[in-house]
Amino acid sequence: MKIMIVGGGGREHAILEKLRENPRIEKFYALPGNGGMQQHAECVPIRATDLDAIVAFATENAIDFAVIGPDDPLIAGVCDRLRAAGVRCFGPSKAAAAIEGSKSFSKNLMRKYGIPTADYAVFDRATEAYAYLAGANYPVVIKADGPALGKGVIIANDRQEAFQAVHAMMEEGAFGTSGSRVVVEEFLVGNEASVLAFTDGDTLIPMISALDHKRALDGDKGLNTGGMGALAPNPFYTLEMARTCMEMIFLPTIRAMSAEGRPFSGCLFFGLMLTKNGPKVIEYNCRFGDPETQAVLPLLETDLLEIMLAIDEGRLGEVPVRFRGGSACCVVLASGGYPGAYQTGVEISLGDAERAENVFLYHAGTKIEQDRLVTAGGRVLGVTALGVDARAARYAAYAVVERIHFDNAFYRRDIGARAIATAEQGEQKIDG
């Protein structure tokens, strides 16, 4: 089989490495891929947002199956276009991808079907948003309705910050048309959890839970990033919560999507806040998360292509999806300055990191330039280590991270630390 992977981040590299375990695949293409994917895939310089070029490439090269990583092409309808052209693929239709593409759509869906989420109001006019915010309790969360590269969420601590955010989104067009409608949400308190789930619209199988680390700096300080590391399973996400989520959130969501005539097929990502009143949905994504995927897929035992083919054929219920025990910890190495401005083209030395056992080096912003591996993005590499438990996985990941060098590299030193300490305190309480 010939497989095409759209995207070029750590998530797509992790998907490629997992798919490689299937012996039926003869050839991989990556659009555009990266310096690590290039080892096993032919990288083609087509951007993930160039739908015409993606569809043309797939048909001209007789691609048997396409896997779409990023949100933008899914929200723009790349899977409908591919399927119409006779190319099988992994990912939701445009109608189903609205669950990520429009926050007002997903909030209204949750309200209509009684799925727990933060209280909210939707505004299409700035004057109405200001009037509402004048009487709101703070903090509140202000979100641009459409996709905004992960930057469209502002936690406003007071009225002034809230007005500023609305002004920037609705009157200055800071996020283009994505911000012409805003959602104002109740601020939720709790630990977060990410749960990715395989679904064909009928059957839903959650993967191992994960904990993302969105802020750039240790102690959850600094700016929001695409994610600086992940731990799987998430120590805060108990078995009881998993049961509640399945019953109150996961299954109701796919049933709601089908009832709305938008059956969801692919990977549905639940961003959850574990509040004292139970788990609530912060956001849905219509795709694998990054870096969560880099921690979750190494724990998957079942063949990923078989799962994806079954989803495409609507027979996920026939596939026994299994995960191995133990934990995985992914630490992201980033370019100095990220998520702000940073330098690229900096030479990377992997040392002997590639030979470490039970460790996966996932490339994100890397490329090969005249036989040298150099940086090409903000998030450069994800180092995932497996361990018998979270502590062992974390220790193993950092042991390898320390062997990788490039000028101005930085990474968080506390990936998983607070969650592991909290879980261990909980165990002591139970033991004592």
The footprint of ligand AMP (CB under 6 A) covers 118, 141, 150, 153, 185, 187-188, 192, 214, 271, 282-283
Q: What minimum distance in Å lies between the beta carbon of 212 and ligand GLY? A: 4
Q: What minimum distance in Å lies between the beta carbon of 255 and ligand AMP? A: 23
Q: What minimum distance in Å lies between the beta carbon of 226 and ligand GLY? A: 7
Q: What minimum distance in Å lies between the beta carbon of 261 and ligand GLY? A: 26
- Between 27 and 214, name the residue whose CB sits nearer to ligand AMP: 214
Question: How far apart (Å, rounded) are the C-alpha atoms in residues 290 and 281?
Answer: 18
At a CB cut-off of 8 Å and minimum separation 6, what does 371 contact? none
Q: How many residues in the shown chain lie near ligand GLY by CB under 6 A? A: 6
CA-closest candidate to residue 74, choices 252, 249, 268, 258: 268
**172, exposed or middle or buried, with CB in 10 Å at 0-12, 13-18, 19+?**
exposed
Residue 225 token pair: 């990033």
Does residue 414 bind ligand GLY (CB under 6 A)?
Answer: no
Q: Pick the piece of the chain touching ligand GLY (CB under 6 A) from 59-67, 259-267, 284-292, 393-401.
A: 284-292
Q: Contact with ligand GLY (CB under 6 A): which of 73, 289, 298, 416?
A: 289
- Between 67 and 166, name the residue whose CB sits nearer to ligand GLY: 67
Q: Which does 118 bind (CB under 5 to 8 A by kind): ligand AMP, ligand GLY, none?
A: ligand AMP
- Which residue has its beta carbon closest to ligand GLY? 289
Q: Contact with ligand GLY (CB under 6 A): which of 192, 290, 312, 414?
A: 290
Question: How far apart (Å, rounded) are the C-alpha atoms in residues 394 and 68?
Answer: 29
Q: Pick the piece of the chain touching ligand GLY (CB under 6 A) from 49-57, 288-296, 305-313, 420-428.
A: 288-296
- Between 30 and 184, name the residue whose CB sits nearer to ligand AMP: 184
Upper half-sphere CA count for residue 33 (Cβ side, 13 Å)? 22
- Between 38 and 102, name the residue whose CB sits nearer to ligand GLY: 102
210 secondary structure, DSSP code: B
- Between 227 and 377, name the residue whose CB sits nearer to ligand GLY: 227
Does residue 100 bind ligand GLY (CB under 6 A)?
Answer: no
Q: Contact with ligand GLY (CB under 6 A): which of 145, 200, 212, 414?
A: 212
Contact by Cβ (8 Å): 94, 111: no
Q: Which does 292 bind (CB under 5 to 8 A by kind): ligand GLY, ligand AMP, none?
A: ligand GLY
Q: What minimum distance in Å lies between the beta carbon of 165 and ligand AMP? A: 13
Q: What are the distances in angstroms from CA 87 to CA 48, 84, 257? A: 16, 7, 24
Contact by Cβ (8 Å): 284, 194: no
- Which amino acid makes up residue 127? T
Listing DSSP states for 273-330 in one string gives: EEETTEEEEEEEESS--TTHHHHHGGGB-S-HHHHHHHHHTT-GGGS---B-SSEEEE
- Which amino acid makes up residue 231? L
- Between 87 and 274, name the residue whose CB sits nearer to ligand AMP: 274
Q: What are the distances in angstroms from CA 250 to CA 4, 46, 90, 126? A: 29, 34, 19, 34
CA-closest candidate to residue 143, choices 224, 213, 78, 68: 224
Contact by Cβ (8 Å): 231, 416: yes
Q: Which does 285 bind (CB under 5 to 8 A by kind): ligand GLY, ligand AMP, none?
A: ligand GLY
Q: Contact with ligand GLY (CB under 6 A): which of 227, 252, 266, 377?
A: 227
Q: Contact with ligand GLY (CB under 6 A): which of 203, 225, 253, 285?
A: 285
Residue numbers at the binding site for ligand GLY (CB under 6 A): 212, 227, 285, 289-290, 292
